[in-house]
């Protein structure tokens, strides 16, 4: 099977050097194996996604010298697929409505008897109400149904630990799918064989692996890469004042030289 990787940015802001590194790593992983590199625009978040950011992403990738195969895929055009998957999971009895507001969740997670890191399942088994809700997966039930799962990261076996992720959201109040659901469906639909992305999404992979098992989807190989850090060891992100790719491009910086430096493991 042709090795296929993808870069899947959310067009909610400008790309920075960390995105460039991720895109180059995914691109080179495929090209080194005679494979395909795809571009997917993760724009299900209608309130934060902007078309102008997509144009900038395209310009940034071209500036870096990265070319992708086929047309870019827009998640906003694929909502029917997410709805169908949700329906299947609902039919398995694995989803429940969650009416909690952000404030209620924050409060529940910082309860005096010890802060918890995941949604505590407040609405699991709650009576149905006529109120805005998201859909969560009952992770304990899902894991019980799937049995032991594992996956590979850089070829090494990882035991799946989705329970620690809790009852994550699969369809949001304000969006018909969550990141977890959309990314899982799309990687399968696009024939992605190798998911190359930052290690900040390592934990999310446990969730994706469960969704693949429940929906009978193929299981890719994962290659989570380290995140770029600045001289101070801090993760490079806009909030640390790192320039965006667009700013560098507009200032006349050579994109090919930036890509070469990142490939050589140097910060340009
Ligand atoms: N859209 C996600 C992001 O921009 C990345 C998704 C992925 O690589 O799985 O953080």
Lowest mean pLDDT among 45-49, 82-86, 190-194, 202-206: 45-49
pTM for the full predicted model:
0.94
Of 9, 45, 181, the residue with max ligand 1 atoms within 8 A of its CB, to mutate for a pocket test, comes to 9
Listed in sequence order, the residues at least 6 apart from 134 whose beta carbon sits closer than 8 Å to its beta carbon are 97, 98, 169, 171, 172, 173, 178
Exposed/middle/buried for 119, CB within 10 Å: 0-12, 13-18, 19+?
buried
> Counting every residue, how long is the chain?
268
| Distance from chain centroid for Cα 32 | 24
201 Cβ below 6 A of ligand 1: yes
Residue 108 or residue 132, greater confidence: 132
Find the 1 Cα to ligand 1 centroid distance in Å. 24
Each residue of 161-202: pLDDT tens digit? 999 999 999 999 988 899 999 999 999 999 999 999 999 999
Listed in sequence order, the residues at least 6 apart from 50 whose beta carbon sits closer than 8 Å to its beta carbon are 11, 12
What pLDDT score was predicted for residue 237? 60
Q: Identify the active-site residue in 225, 238, 260, 261.
A: 238
Mean pLDDT (the chain, rounded):
94
pLDDT at 110 over 60: yes
Nearest CA among 213, 192, 163, 254 for reference residue 2:
192
CB-CB neighbours of 130 under 10 Å: 6
Find the 104 Cα to ligand 1 centroid distance in Å. 27
Which pairing describes strands 134-137 and 150-153: parallel, antiparallel, or unpaired? unpaired
Number of alpha carbons in the 13 Å side-chain half-sphere of residue 14: 16
| Distance from chain centroid for Cα 114 | 29
Q: Structural domains in the chain?
A: 1-77+228-268 (3.40.50.620), 82-192+200-220 (3.40.50.620)
Using only the alpha carbons of the chain, give its radius of gyration.
Answer: 19
CA angle 260, 265, 268 (to 5 degrees): 55
173 assigned to active site: no
Closest residue CA from atom 6 of ligand 1: 8
Find the 10 Cα to ligand 1 centroid distance in Å. 7
Each residue of 116-147: pLDDT tens digit? 688 989 999 999 999 999 999 999 999 999 99
42 Cβ below 6 A of ligand 1: yes
């Amino acid at each position: 099977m042709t090795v296929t990787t993808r870069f899947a940015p959310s067009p909610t802001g400008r790309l920075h050097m960390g995105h460039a590194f991720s895109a180059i790593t995914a691109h080179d992983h495929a090209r080194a194996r005679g494979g395909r590199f795809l571009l997917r625009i993760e724009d299900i978040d209608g309130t934060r996604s902007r078309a102008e950011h997509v144009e900038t992403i395209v310009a940034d990738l071209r500036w870096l010298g990265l070319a992708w195969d086929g047309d870019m895929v827009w998640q906003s055009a694929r909502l029917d697929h997410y709805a169908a998957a949700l329906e299947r999971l609902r039919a398995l009895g694995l989803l429940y409505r969650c009416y909690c507001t952000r404030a209620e969740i924050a409060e529940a997670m910082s309860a005096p008897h010890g802060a918890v890191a995941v949604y505590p399942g407040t609405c699991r088994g709650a009576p149905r109400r006529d109120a805005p809700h998201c859909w969560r997966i009952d992770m304990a039930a899902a894991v019980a149904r799937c049995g032991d799962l594992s996956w590979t990261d850089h070829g090494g076996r990882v035991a799946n630990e989705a329970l620690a992720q809790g009852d994550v959201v699969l369809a949001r109040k304000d969006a018909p799918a969550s990141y977890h659901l959309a990314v899982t469906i799309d990687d399968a639909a696009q024939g992605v064989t190798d998911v190359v992305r930052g290690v900040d999404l390592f934990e999310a992979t446990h969730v994706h692996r469960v969704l693949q098992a429940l929906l009978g989807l193929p299981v890719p190989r994962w290659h989570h890469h380290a995140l770029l850090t600045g001289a101070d060891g801090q993760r490079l992100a806009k909030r640390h004042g790192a320039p965006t790719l667009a700013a560098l491009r507009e200032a006349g910086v050579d994109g090919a030289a930036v890509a070469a430096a990142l490939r050589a493991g140097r910060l340009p």
